[in-house]
């Protein structure tokens, strides 16, 4: 699938700038593992504004929590609305947000930099090999060790680096490779799925309960990933034909408050951790390849992802009870049968 010209141009410009900065400022980082003794403060830097790209760091966060149970972990992200997802995870102390609006206020950027540097981080991790924003943060933020991935065109001020794994395909599992720089030789021992670690209290909160056998749907997505409302209605009709006891919950995008129809219950909430808790009490969740797909999977609810234009190998669901379906050239009836068959095979039915 070809990229829009403006995206191609932006990426080419970023690469040119990064190459120039790298030649002027950056020294070659070491490649051996660090001596990770007495680690107290950790910062993960992923200045990104999409839900999925932030949730993709949960396997790394959980691996760090398991390896350094007494350490405090902070994270720096882009959009503030995503912060509640990470703030509720174990060992997370603080989530910093670098909102795009900060670019208009240099003094606020300097204040944020001072606030972060006062934490005296032992380790900073940069899980994205190509992010220009993360590269700049690696230059201006202080830490005893700064670890990340090697890329010949990428600008990052690292103390230690490692080559990206050629064996790890999924984007959410690639950051786990950084654990090797912390002396962990077997990264397969860590969970290989997304998990925002909802607590028992969150899951059992009465306000987030649903009727039995309720399937959630999310209809919005970017560009070619989006599926028409008429298709969704046909899918619901086919699923109810196969199992008349099913209920449906239309989870609305905050920017699109129009329900599919008046016969289906709907749910609207801006706090993403609240949305995640609501999803955690569903029988299953169905959506296209979009952020809420990864959000649902990170609650350990059986998630059915519908792919039209992207690769499940790179971006598909990872949960034990999840299912990624390529829906091109398939009839809705056929997809409905596959969904019911899959749900009947899980322990949630």
* Domain 200-345 in the same topology as domain 5-189: yes
How far CA 251 is from CA of 36, 56, 166, 227, 326, in Å, comes to: 43, 22, 37, 15, 22
Cβ atoms 53, 134 nearer than 8 A: no
Q: Which two structure tokens, joined as six digits, stand for 252?
A: 């609305």
The residue behind tokens 């999310």 is: 218
Domain 200-345 belongs in CATH node 3.40.50.1980: no
pLDDT at 36: 84
pLDDT at 109: 92
Tell me which DSSP letter residue 27 carries: P
Which 3 state secondary structure label does DSSP give 93? strand
| Cβ neighbourhood burial of 328 (10 Å; 0-12, 13-18, 19+) | exposed
Cβ atoms 306, 315 nearer than 8 A: no
pLDDT at 67: 96
pLDDT at 1: 47
Report which secondary-structure segment, H or E, holds 278.
helix 272-280
Cβ atoms 99, 49 nearer than 8 A: no
Cβ atoms 125, 42 nearer than 8 A: yes
Cβ atoms 173, 56 nearer than 8 A: no
CA atoms within a 13 Å half-sphere pointing along the CA-CB vector of 293: 25
How far CA 307 is from CA of 73, 174, 219, 317, in Å, comes to: 34, 21, 13, 11
In the chain, what are the domain boundaries? 5-189, 200-345
Q: Could you tell me which CATH number the domain at 5-189 has?
A: 3.40.50.2000
Give me the tens of pLDDT residue by residue for the chain, a chain 349 residues long. Answer: 455 666 667 666 666 666 666 666 566 789 999 988 889 999 999 999 999 999 999 999 999 999 999 999 999 999 999 999 999 998 899 999 999 888 889 999 999 999 999 999 999 999 999 888 898 899 899 999 999 999 887 788 899 999 999 999 999 999 999 999 999 999 999 999 999 999 999 999 999 999 999 999 999 998 889 999 999 999 999 999 999 999 999 999 988 889 999 899 999 999 999 999 999 999 999 999 999 999 999 999 999 999 987 888 889 999 999 999 999 889 999 999 999 999 999 854 4
Sheet of 160-162: strands edge to edge?
Answer: 92-97, 72-77, 41-45, 121-126, 143-149, 160-162
């Amino acid at each position: 699938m070809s990229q829009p010209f403006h995206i191609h141009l932006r990426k080419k410009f970023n690469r040119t700038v990064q190459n120039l900065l790298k030649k002027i400022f950056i020294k070659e980082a070491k490649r051996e593992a660090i001596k990770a003794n007495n680690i107290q403060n950790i910062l993960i830097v992923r200045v990104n504004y999409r839900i999925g790209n932030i949730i993709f760091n949960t396997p790394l966060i959980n691996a760090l929590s398991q390896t350094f149970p007494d350490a405090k972990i902070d994270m720096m992200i882009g959009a503030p609305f995503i912060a509640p997802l990470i703030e509720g995870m174990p060992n997370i102390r603080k989530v910093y947000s670098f909102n795009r609006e900060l670019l208009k206020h240099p003094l606020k950027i300097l204040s944020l930099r001072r606030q972060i540097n006062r934490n005296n981080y032992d380790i900073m991790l940069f899980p994205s090999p190509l992010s220009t924003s993360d590269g700049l943060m690696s230059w201006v933020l202080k830490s005893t060790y700064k670890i990340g991935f090697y890329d010949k065109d990428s600008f990052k001020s690292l103390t230690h680096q490692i080559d990206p794994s050629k064996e790890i395909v999924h984007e959410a599992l690639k950051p786990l490779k950084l654990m090797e720089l912390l002396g962990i030789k077997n990264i397969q021992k860590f969970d290989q799925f997304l998990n925002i670690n909802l607590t028992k209290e969150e899951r059992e909160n009465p306000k987030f309960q649903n009727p039995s056998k309720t399937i959630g749907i999310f209809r919005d997505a970017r560009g070619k990933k989006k599926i028409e409302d008429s298709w969704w209605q046909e899918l619901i009709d086919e699923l109810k034909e196969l199992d008349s006891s099913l209920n449906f919950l239309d989870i609305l995008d905050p920017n699109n408050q129009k329900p599919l129809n008046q016969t289906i219950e709907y749910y609207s909430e801006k706090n993403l951790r609240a949305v995640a808790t609501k999803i955690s009490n569903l029988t299953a969740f169905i959506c296209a390849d979009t952020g809420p797909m990864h959000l649902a999977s990170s609650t350990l609810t059986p998630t059915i992802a519908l792919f039209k234009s992207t690769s499940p190998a790179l971006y598909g669901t990872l949960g034990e009870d999840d299912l990624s379906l390529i829906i091109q050239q398939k009839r809705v009836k056929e997809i409905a049968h596959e969904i019911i068959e899959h749900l009947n095979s899980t322990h949630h039915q």
